[in-house]
């Protein structure tokens, strides 16, 4: 299987300066390639392809010697990123023409990573050496397994540096078989409630940090643009957001591991999260809950452990009685399910999780459209 290992790294000032120089060169190439595509389309009514732009790299290096310091595969990756951005734009143009999102030029703080492939680097123990850049000391929290295909150096908004190794042929470590199955209903008040009535509270990390974020963002807005004080204030805002992201990821990893270790088959709802976020009253709470990230974590952890995650249609899971199957309409504010037909009384989310489990078990076969892993 394909897997990415992410490590924080420690570098000296010379290596950091070289990294920033590479990022600036890559950003310049990205903007030049984007400008070229726009100009050619305006003049001739057609765009230039990825391979045509790649073929012009040797000529670019002759005209601008600073591009010679960056590896050729790294420069090719920049053009591949731009091509991927245009493919995404064309796809969105078919789905939502009014909000397609044309690829934008990258400012200094919006290009923060570069990628190396099979050459220009070597790994010796806990140290990574990159040609024309320097040495990176890795904090190896776990060993790297499989064949390394790409190495990505990334700078965060707070000034930290991370290295991601994308590896292929990573051995799968399957867990012991268990016949246990469970349905999970995610929510806002409680993060999730499963079909065995286990409830996990929503930590609401963003909501707890809003007061600090408001104070720091107001301070940032009062600083003069381009000043050193504004940059310091920007870093403080970025650190507050970074802490929220780290807390959220830690919580989601722990919850996903809890279910992957205990159950062989996990049934979840196939939610249209992008559509739900458009609700202006609940958008921030839904985004803070990060259901999509939770489902993605369940997906890759299930693939690694030999488990199965199945998506079921969410229509009616909260309205149908799990005891008798009759429809009991209720608004979102009603948190207790009370069936007038079979007299069943239980938590609304528990009722939904039982319906999710029943729907998942009733599927005739685990089709690829419904299965994560």
| Given 185, 194, 288, 304, the catalytic residue | 185
Is residue 269 among the annotated active site residues? yes
Going by C-alpha positions, the residue among 94, 180, 171, 129 that lies closest to residue 18 is: 129
E strands, 103-172, in order? 113-116, 121-124, 127-130, 134-138, 147-155, 161-168
Q: Where are the alpha helices (DSSP H) in 96-167?
A: none
**E strands of the chain, at which residues?**
3-10, 113-116, 121-124, 127-130, 134-138, 147-155, 161-168, 181-186, 190-194, 199-201, 265-269, 308-312, 336-338, 345-347
The torsion of the CA quartet 236, 28, 77, 14, rounded to 10 degrees, works out to -60
* Residue 349 a catalytic site member: yes
Strand ranges across the sheet with 190-194 = 199-201, 190-194, 181-186, 265-269, 308-312
Pick the catalytic residue from 83, 194, 269, 304.
Answer: 269
Query: Cβ distance 156 to 8 under 8 Å?
Result: no
User: Does residue 147 carry a catalytic annotation?
Assistant: no
Question: Distance between CA atoms of 321 and 342, rounded to whole angstroms?
Answer: 9
* Active-site residue set: 185, 269, 349
């Amino acid at each position: 299987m394909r897997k990415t290992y992410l490590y924080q790294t420690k570098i000296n000032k010379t290596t950091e300066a070289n990294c920033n120089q590479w990022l600036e060169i890559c950003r310049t190439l990205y903007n030049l390639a984007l400008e070229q595509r726009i100009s050619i389309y305006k003049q001739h009514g057609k765009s230039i392809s990825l391979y045509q732009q790649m073929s012009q790299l040797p000529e670019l290096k002759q005209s601008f010697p600073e591009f010679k310091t960056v590896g050729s595969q790294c420069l090719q990756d920049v053009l591949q990123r731009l091509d991927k951005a245009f493919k995404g734009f064309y796809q969105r143009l078919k789905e939502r023409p009014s909000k397609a999102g044309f690829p934008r030029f990258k400012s200094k703080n919006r290009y923060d990573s570069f990628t190396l492939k099979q050459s220009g680097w070597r790994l010796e123990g806990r140290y990574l050496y990159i040609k024309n850049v320097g040495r990176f000391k890795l904090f190896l929290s776990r060993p790297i397994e499989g064949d390394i295909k790409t190495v990505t150096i990334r700078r965060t908004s707070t000034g930290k540096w991370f290295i991601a190794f994308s590896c292929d042929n990573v051995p799968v470590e399957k867990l012991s078989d268990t016949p246990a199955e469970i349905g999970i209903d995610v929510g806002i008040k409680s993060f999730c409630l499963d079909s065995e009535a286990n409830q996990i509270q929503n930590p609401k990390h963003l909501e707890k940090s809003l007061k600090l974020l408001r104070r720091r963002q107001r301070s940032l807005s009062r600083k003069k643009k381009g000043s050193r004080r504004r940059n310091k204030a920007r870093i403080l805002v970025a650190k507050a957001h970074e802490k929220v992201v780290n807390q959220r990821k830690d919580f989601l990893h722990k919850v996903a591991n809890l279910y992957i270790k205990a159950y062989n088959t996990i049934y979840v709802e196939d939610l249209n999260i992008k559509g739900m976020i458009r609700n202006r009253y609940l958008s921030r709470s839904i985004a803070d809950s990060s259901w999509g990230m939770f489902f993605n974590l369940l997906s890759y952890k299930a693939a690694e452990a030999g488990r199965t995650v199945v998506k079921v249609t969410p229509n009616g899971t909260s309205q149908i009685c799990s005891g008798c199957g009759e429809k009991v309409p209720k608004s979102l504010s009603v948190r207790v399910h009370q069936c007038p037909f079979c007299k069943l009384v239980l938590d609304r989310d528990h009722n939904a999780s039982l319906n999710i489990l029943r729907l998942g078990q009733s599927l005739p076969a685990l089709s690829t459209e419904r299965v994560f892993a």
